[in-house]
Amino acid sequence: MLRRRTLALRSMIPLRRLTMICRQDAGLAMSGADEFRASASRMRALLDIAVCYGLILLVIWTPRPMQRWFYWTAIAWVVLSTCLSFAGWKAMGFRVAGFRRSLWVVGIALMTAAGAVALAARLHTLHEPHGPMQWVRSFAGYTVWSLMQQFLLQGYFLLRLQRILPGRAWAVVAAAGLFAAAHLPNPILTPMSFVWGLTACLVFLRFRNIYPLALAHAIFGICIAVTIPAPVVRNMRVGLGYLRYHAPRPLHLSQSDHSVSTVAWVIAEAPTRRCARQALP
């Protein structure tokens, strides 16, 4: 009996070794598959960023009518690539959780805007729309555009940069850099965009909610539009629009024809009055 047990134990030893080897091989195969999936995810994220940002630059730096074609192509690419690598609404910041905890960003934006408006009033550079309906017509579209920009910054670029770069800090800096570079060569909007990009990305990673950031973005943009003279900020234009901007020429009114001069003044000042509608920071 003892001899049989000894033989049985000896026969079990190779089986155990074989089982361990099989498990190790399976683990190596799984790790190899995981590495392949991670590498494929990084390559797909890099492709998404390169194509999307390239199309955005084409929209910024291409004259019409080609600009419109690149604009709709960029939108189509964002929608398609987002659907193919959908991270979830919550991951992109479209959720209720974290909204109240991050509302302090909106409060800071309101206080900053109030101080800027007071300073602009003292310096006589304040040029806000007249009446509530004019405010809505001038800035309703810009508010929606602010939400789109925050989605591109955090929900699109930042999430993909986190897959490519080794740490969150590098992803935040890279996303802010891309956001600021899209506002070149405007010397006012470019540094402001970099600072805001850093702040917004850090807040997003902390609270994962995009709505307060979009509200704060809209407040800051509207504040710039109504407090800084349009010729200085060039109607908040970027890219080719900034280079081709022409400030409205001052109109010298003639005392011999007051009836015509009033109409001419309104026409000459129309581009400045529409600065907020043309603003795309």
Q: Which long-range contacts (C-beta less than 8 Å, at least 24 apart) are formed by 42-49?
A: 42/163, 42/164, 44/84, 44/85, 45/85, 45/160, 45/161, 45/163, 45/164, 46/160, 46/164, 48/81, 48/85, 48/156, 48/160, 49/157, 49/160, 49/161, 49/164
Average pLDDT over every residue of 22-27: 56
Q: CA angle, 18 as apex, 13 and 20 as ends, to 5°?
A: 95
pLDDT single digits (tens) 25-61:
555 555 666 777 778 888 999 999 999 999 999 999 9
Between 21 and 276, where is the model more confident?
21
CA pair distance 236, 255, nearest whole angstrom: 35
For the chain, give every domain's residue range. 15-86, 89-281
Query: For the chain, what percent of residues have pLDDT higher than 70?
Result: 76
| Top mean-pLDDT range of 22-26, 64-68, 270-274 | 64-68
* Locus of tokens 């800084």: 228
Query: Looking at 18-22, 206-210, 243-247, 256-260, which range is the least confident one?
Result: 256-260
How much is the pLDDT for 237? 92
pLDDT single digits (tens) 95-122:
999 999 999 999 999 999 999 999 999 9
Between 130 and 150, where is the model more confident?
150
Q: CA angle, 52 as apex, 169 and 44 as ends, to 5°?
A: 70
pLDDT single digits (tens) 154-182:
999 999 999 999 889 999 999 999 999 99
Query: Looking at 14-18, 194-198, 252-256, which range is the least confident one?
Result: 252-256
How much is the pLDDT for 139? 85
> pLDDT-based confidence at 257, cuts 50/70/90?
very low
Of 188, 234, 191, 239, the C-alpha closest to 58 is 239
> pLDDT-based confidence at 208, cuts 50/70/90?
very high
pLDDT at position 6 over 60: no
Between 190 and 249, where is the model more confident?
190
How much is the pLDDT for 132? 80
Query: For the chain, what percent of residues have pLDDT higher than 90?
Result: 61
How much is the pLDDT for 269? 41
Between 268 and 73, where is the model more confident?
73
Total-model pTM: 0.76
Confirm if 191 and 180 have CB atoms less than 8 A apart: yes
How much is the pLDDT for 47? 94
Average pLDDT over every residue of 75-96: 93
Full DSSP string of 192-229 = HHHHHHHHHHHHHHHH--SHHHHHHHHHHHHHHHHHS-
